[in-house]
Each structure stands twice: as structure tokens, then as C-alpha cells.
Chain A
């Protein structure tokens, strides 16, 4: 089912949570709302679910206006960051809750419900856990039960609010891959909120980058990563890998503007012992930090105050055999120039 978001506004007191946000989500896609905290991504998700109502604007499900309809009637599955499982119910009762609250005429029979639970527990790979209580499960298992519970009512839309935010790194990676496979299996239109760019890039069909209540860019992971619309998107998607320096001399084929600021991702910084061309800058190695498969090197550009961060693979680093305090040349491999001085 497709979702159409038409110029949604939402204020909390004097704080603008969402300012004129429009977005269309095609049926069957897995979309990530990505942004820092306070960017309005969770508010947008809650408005889609009907847990929050917009000050103005419309939400359309399959072209039908649902702005005024109650969360009960929207048929959305919602997964919360902290699971929100009913702790006094067994896994079985949690999963079937949405079916058993239906009026008698539409409620499935006991046998159908049992089959449904078996099927869902298989889907979330927790067969045989039906009789346990949430307190007896791990965080990752609880979140999968929460997902099974949301899927039990056969929602038209699945909404996930930082679903892996409360889990540790390894379970997180595992679960997001699993979510991707699950989506490929059931194809329900899904929107998930995250502040983790890696998670968004890995899982989503489309990424919507949000900041300060507005959408900065929406596109496929490749589009937003390779062709960021503005410095915010570039900065946010390369968060750790950003090269913070202001390089005034742009490389060949780059626009030369007086007020331009260039951005280079840190893994696009090349380090050399000899000068390559005019875009090479002399710099001193200040700090070397080994981060598992990659090595982060902080350099200070000679004759300026600015620092540059470069990220090399371990292989390249070992071949170069860099030492702290050494004089080298740095050269940006790929430069992105944005004409005006954009405030991040």
C-alpha cells in the first residue's frame, strides 16, 4: 500500500517538529527516515501511524485520506524502540493480542489463531518460545516478538521506530540483515526510523534524510551517498568519514567559486610521500588511530590551522609505513563543492 504525505506541519509549543513535509512512499518499499535526534523523523512516523495528529496537512493511504481516522482503524503495525511488549502475557498471548481484540464476527477461530502464531514464530525464528514471558527473552528476541505481534494483524503498513536502537552492536547488525530478508519475503510497505546511517544504507530501498523538521533529500542509498544534495546530507551520511578541512583550491573539473566550500570524505583522501600535482598539499602526520580494518590518520596542513582526517585500509597503511610527525602530501580523490557557505 502506498503512503502519501502532503505538506504536514506539526508544532510542539514553539518548537517546529515538522515544517511542510511532503513525501510519497510507493507500495512495497522499505524506506528509512534518517536524521539526527530532534529532526522530526519519529514525529513523522507517529503521524503516519495516527499516534500523533498533524496541525495541518494530509496523510493518504492508497490515495485515501486517513488523516482523521483513529490509529485503531489504520491497520498499521507499529514496532517501538523499547518493544512495548505486554509483560504479563506469554509470547503467544502477545502475538495474538491484535486478533483476540477483534469483534466476534471477524475474530478467527482458536485453531486458526494457533496456526497463525506457529507461522509467525517461524517467520521471526522463535519457534517453541510461545509459552515464555517477555522477561525470559533477550532484547533481540523481544524485538522479534514485537514484530511478530505487529504482523499478526496483517497490517497494510509496517512502521518501526528505531527498532534496533536498544540492542547491542552485534545483535543489531544481525537483526537488520534479518529485517531486510523478512521484507523481501513479505513485501509490506515499511517505514523505519533510524539515526544510524550505516543501518539506513544497508537496509533501506530508499532513504529520506531529515533535519530540523524538513526533508533534506530523498532517494536510493546510492543517490544520497554518491550525490548528496547538500553538505548536511554529505556530512550525515559520511559522519565518521568526513574530512573537516576547508580546501580552497579545487581540483580540475571542479567549479571555482569565491565562496565555495569543498567537502571530501576521509576515505577519499590519498596520502603520498611525493607531490602528485597542484592539488597536493603538504601536511604533517599528527595522529594515527587503528580501527580494526581501517586506519584513521589525522594530519595538519602546513601553513594553515586546518586538520584533515584520512581513512586508509590497513593494507595501504602498511605499504606506506607512516610514522607520527612525518611530512607527507595529501590529495583529495573526489571533491564535492557546494557554492554557498551552508550551515550544518
Chain B
């Protein structure tokens, strides 16, 4: 097998490192996931369908994946903007803003959830302003999007930022010499070069949004059929000792997320077709 032929690599010990990698991945990722699938396999086909396609469950998929997509989309736009500003414009306090971006990474999600719920509730700082204008954020699907946007922001900023830093100034100068205005330069020259990293950031933010639990349940209101996310539904099933029902839903989420990530990866590969 080609995998095990001897390569003269700078890193010594291909055997032990590869063995450790496989062991580690098995223990941490593969075994728990296969346990999930095995547990689900105990269900009959009809039971499985009943568990994963109940109206309340279907509604929760829509809320979870819809909100995660929306939040990742918002982050893709504003994350690029934040990254651009942080790289291109020197301003006082830039390092502070740069550090702030990482805050959603570090903050316990429950803290973030309670804070967001407080701020956006009808008598919170922001909610007070939005409420009279007919915009309800807390305890609606919109609140879920807000929470997912909050926790997903650093993913886009941190993947796009180094790419913007690496952009060659000469490329912009070349575009200007050829008569392109600044918008044309951005849209036709710079943005296509950023696309792969934006897609990566989008995928990461999306995956994080789908899996998020802690920060959402405080702001979502958790109304069945309206603002109930799938992870919460899984937890509810667990509390009712319906382990197989819980794993069945989890399996569906796993497969859906996997397909989504695969599609985004293919898109990313396509957007980098010039590099081959």
C-alpha cells in the first residue's frame, strides 16, 4: 500500500505519529460518533422516521439551520468588513478592537446568552429602542440569529484577516493603472482573492451556529414550532429518557452538517481553481 511506503521526510517517525493521529481521532471523534449511529440503529425504520420527522422536530431543523445560515451570512459580510478595517486603517485603539473580536471565543456561552437576552429583552438597553419600532429580538428566531452571529464573528474575521494582510499592494496599483476605480478593484481583483477564506470562515461560523446551545437558549424563548432549536430538542428527549429518539435527531443533524460542510468545501475548492 502506498500509504506505508517509506518517504524521506524531514519529520522523523512517520509510523508513531500516524498511529497516534489515528488513535486520537478514533477516541475523540470516531467512537462517540459511531456510538451515536449504533444507538440510532436500534430503532426500526418507522420509529426512526417518527422520531426525526415529527412536525416539532422539522420546525426545529428549520429554525436551527435557517438561523445558522443567516448568521453565517451576516458574519461573512460584516466579518470581512471588520477584518478589512483592522488591517487597512490604522486608528487609535486598533489593537483593543482586534482583541475584542476574540471575546466570543473566550466568553462562556451561558454568560453571552444571558447578556444578550438582557440587552435585547423589551426593557433592555437595545430592546427598549427596538421594541417601540415593532422589532422583537429576544424570545424570537431573530434572537437566535443574533446569538449565532455573536458567537460566529471571530471565525470569519480570523480566517479572512491574514489573507487581507497578505494581499500584494502592487495588484491594486496595477488595477488602478489599468483604469479601474476603487470599487472595481475591490470587486474584481481583491474580493475573488478573499473568497476562499470567506467561505472557510462562513463554514466555520455556520458549523458553530448549528452546534451552539448555551448562548441561544436564554435569548430564544424556546417556543415549540417557533424558536426551539434542535440541540434543545435533543436535550428534552434525553430528559424524558428517550435516548434513541435523541440520537436519531442527532444523527440527522450530523449528516446534514456534514453535507453542508462538504458542499462549502467543494465551493471553496472551485473558488481556488486558479492555483492548480
Enumerate chain A interface residues (CB-CB to B < 8 A): 49, 51, 70-72, 76-78, 80, 82, 84-90, 97-98, 101-102, 133-135, 146, 149-150, 152-153
Shortest Cβ distance from A53 into chain B, in angstroms?
13
State in angstroms the CA–CA spacing of A154 and B97 once bound together.
45
Whether the pair B173, A78 counts as a contact (CB closer than 8 A) is yes
Asked if residues B180 and A84 are in contact (CB atoms below 8 Å), the reply is no
The smallest beta-carbon distance between B183 and chain A, in angstroms, is 10
User: Which of B52-60, B126-134, B144-152, B188-196 faces chain A?
Assistant: B188-196
A-B contact count (CB 8 A): 72
Assess the B180–A135 pair: CB atoms within 8 A: no
Contact A101–B188 (Cβ < 8 Å):
yes
B179 touches A98 (CB 8 A): yes
Some 13 contacts from A to B, beta carbons below 8 A apart, are A49-B177, A51-B176, A51-B177, A70-B176, A72-B176, A72-B179, A72-B180, A84-B174, A97-B178, A97-B180, A101-B180, A101-B181, A101-B184
* Residues from chain B with Cβ under 8 Å of A88 in the complex: 192-193, 274
CB of A87 within 8 A of CB of B275, answer yes
B177 contacts across to A, CB distance below 8 A: 49, 51, 71-72, 76-78, 150
- Could you tell me the distance in whole angstroms from the C-beta of B23 to the nearest C-beta in chain A? 38
Q: Which of B168, B178, B192 contacts A98 (CB 8 A)?
A: B178
B175 at the interface (CB under 8 A from A): yes
Q: In the assembly, what is the distance between CA of A146 and CA of B170, in Å?
A: 12
Chain A nearest CB from B77 CB (Å) reads 20
Once the chains bind, are A72 and B171 in contact (CB under 8 Å)? Answer: no
B150 CB to closest chain A CB, in angstroms? 32
B239 at the interface (CB under 8 A from A): no
CB-nearest residue of chain B to A81 = B170
Give Cα distance in the complex from A102 to B181, angstroms.
9
A153 to B179, CA, bound (A): 9
A102: chain B residues at CB < 8 Å are 179
Are A149 and B178 in contact (CB-based, < 8 A)? yes
| Contact A80 B179, beta carbon cutoff 8 Å | no
Asked if residues B176 and A82 are in contact (CB atoms below 8 Å), the reply is no
Alpha-carbon separation in the docked complex, A87 to B193 (Å): 8
**A-facing residues in B225-276 (Cβ within 8 Å):** 274-276
Residue in chain B with minimal CB distance to A49: B177
- In the complex, what residues of A have CB within 8 A of residue B275's CB? 87, 133, 135
Name A159's closest neighbour in chain B (CB-CB): B177
Minimum CB distance partner of B195 in chain A: A88
Contact with A along B102-113 (1 / 0, CB 8 A): 000000000000
19 further A-B contacts with Cβ under 8 Å, apart from A71-B173, A135-B276, are A51-B173, A51-B177, A70-B176, A72-B176, A82-B170, A86-B175, A87-B275, A97-B175, A98-B179, A101-B179, A101-B181, A101-B188, A133-B274, A133-B276, A134-B274, A135-B275, A149-B174, A150-B177, A152-B178
Residues in B neighbouring A89, C-beta threshold 8 A: 192, 274
Q: How distant is the Cα of A208 from the Cα of B37 in the complex, in angstroms?
A: 76
Task: Please indicate the chain A residues that have their CB under 8 angstroms from the CB of B179 in the complex.
Answer: 72, 98, 101-102, 153
Would B168 and A84 count as touching, CB distance under 8 A? yes
Q: Is the CB of B189 within 8 A of A72?
A: no
Collect the chain B residues with CB atoms within 8 Å of residue A135's CB: 274-276
CB-nearest residue of chain A to B169: A84
Task: State in angstroms the CA–CA spacing of A123 and B274 once bound together.
Answer: 25
Of all chain B residues, which has the CB nearest A87?
Answer: B274
Residue of B nearest to A133 (CB): B274
Q: How far apart sit A101 and B181, CA to CA, in the bound complex (Å)?
A: 8
B166 to chain A, nearest CB (A): 12
- Chain B nearest CB from A156 CB (Å) reads 12
Shortest distance from the beta carbon of B44 to any chain A beta carbon, whole Å: 51
Residue of A nearest to B180 (CB): A101
The CA-CA distance from A80 to B193 in the complex, in Å, is 19
Q: Are A80 and B174 interface neighbours, CB within 8 A?
A: yes
CB distance from B163 to the nearest CB of A (A): 12
B178, B179, B193: most-surrounded residue (chain A CB, <10 A): B178
A101 to B173, CA, bound (A): 14
A97–B181 Cα distance when bound, in Å, is: 12
8 tightest A-B CB contacts, nearest first:
A98-B178, A84-B170, A84-B174, A101-B180, A78-B177, A133-B274, A88-B192, A88-B274
Are A84's CB and B171's CB within 8 A?
yes
CA distance A98 to B180 in the complex (A): 7
A90 to B168, CA, bound (A): 18
A71: contacting residue among B176, B188, B274, CB under 8 A: B176
- Shortest Cβ distance from B178 into A: residue: A98
Q: Min CB distance, A84 to chain B, in Å?
A: 4
B274 — which chain A residues lie within 8 A by C-beta? 87-90, 133-135
Chain B residues with CB under 8 Å of A77's CB are 177
The CA of A41 and the CA of B181, in the complex, are separated in Å by 27
Residues of A within 8 A of B188 (CB): 97, 101
Residue numbers in B under 8 Å from A101 (CB-CB): 175, 178-181, 184, 188
Question: Which A-chain residue is minimally distant from B177 (CB atoms)?
Answer: A78
Q: Which residues of A contact B192 (CB under 8 A)?
A: 88-89
Closest to B185 in A: A101
